[in-house]
Amino acid sequence: MKKDIILIDGGVGTSLWEKADDKVPVWRYNIENPEIVLELHKEMANAGAKYVLANTFGANRLAMHGTDYTVPQIVTRAMELAHEALDGRDVKISLAMGPLTGLLKPFGPIAPEECYDIYKEMAEAGITGKPDAVYIQTFLDLEMAKIAARAVRDTDPDIPLMISLTFTKSSPKKGPRTMMGNSVPDIIEGLRPFDPIAIGLNCSSGPEDALPIIETFSRLSDIPLVFKPNAGKPMMEGGSEIDFDEFAKEVVKAADYPGVKYIGGCCGANAGYIAALRDRLAE
């Protein structure tokens, strides 16, 4: 594998929707359709992923409001499925934690204390399930990501932690920014106190637009980097507008940037994209 790059899996949510007839919030599949969750984890491992994300990304109490499900029920089952699918394989399991559907005050209705309680509940349920790492990902707001990271660290001070944000397009004057205006230097310094094993970018856009952003991280960060861009624009019927080889050919360029250690895919990237990326990295 090129430069000791560690391959991460692809887009869990879009890959599950590709498999499912009922397009419901994907955390529900842990209870209602566990077979496709097991199948996806196995496919990602077979494709060469060394980190596979449990199906917990959006499993928080805000998302479950009005349902009969609880966070401990969904997250615990997700961890059980990941362990079952990957038993006996040299593959690590990450608890995945995504952003909330609302914004923090004063831009939205969520108080920081409520946000912390939501992520603390996820972290406690997930870490009880013995993941190898926690991956906080797809955050638009550095402050919300920091609250999630604090909840993880308060639950387990030592568990390996990866954190990545998603970006709007860069401007020539301001450089890369998240939707909430966070810059790459903001993110590096803001996340440093949580001692992450990697920081960087996921989702955002296709690899062509995302590569300049991870290059900026590479120039400025002394923390290892994770790069997990979308496979172009995902399609409702599954897959993406970019084919396997085109995706892999672009994403593998990040392996040449100093500091980049973890590479994978996000929305639209099913196991076929990860296998193509594995093959490109091996060349």
Over 60: is that where the pLDDT of 7 sits?
A: yes
User: What is residue 168's predicted lDDT score, i.e. its pLDDT?
Assistant: 87
Percentage of the residues of the chain whose pLDDT score is greater than 70: 95
Start-to-end CA distance of the chain, whole Å, equals: 8
Q: What is the pTM of this model?
A: 0.95
What integer is the mean pLDDT of 116-126? 98
141's enclosing H/E stretch is none
Q: Are 78 and 57 in contact (CB under 8 A)?
A: no
- Which residues are CB-contacts of 214 (< 8 A; sequence separation ≥ 6)? 200, 201, 225, 227, 254, 257, 260
Is it the case that residue 241 has pLDDT exceeding 80? no
In the block, tokens 């030592």 appear at 158
Q: What is residue 235's predicted lDDT score, i.e. its pLDDT?
A: 53
Alpha-carbon span 60 to 78, nearest angstrom: 13
Confidence tier at 232 by pLDDT (50, 70, 90)? confident
- Domains belonging to the chain, first-starting first, are 2-282 (3.20.20.330)
Q: In this structure, what is the dihedral angle of CA atoms 145, 254, 271, 61, given to the nearest 10 degrees?
A: 0
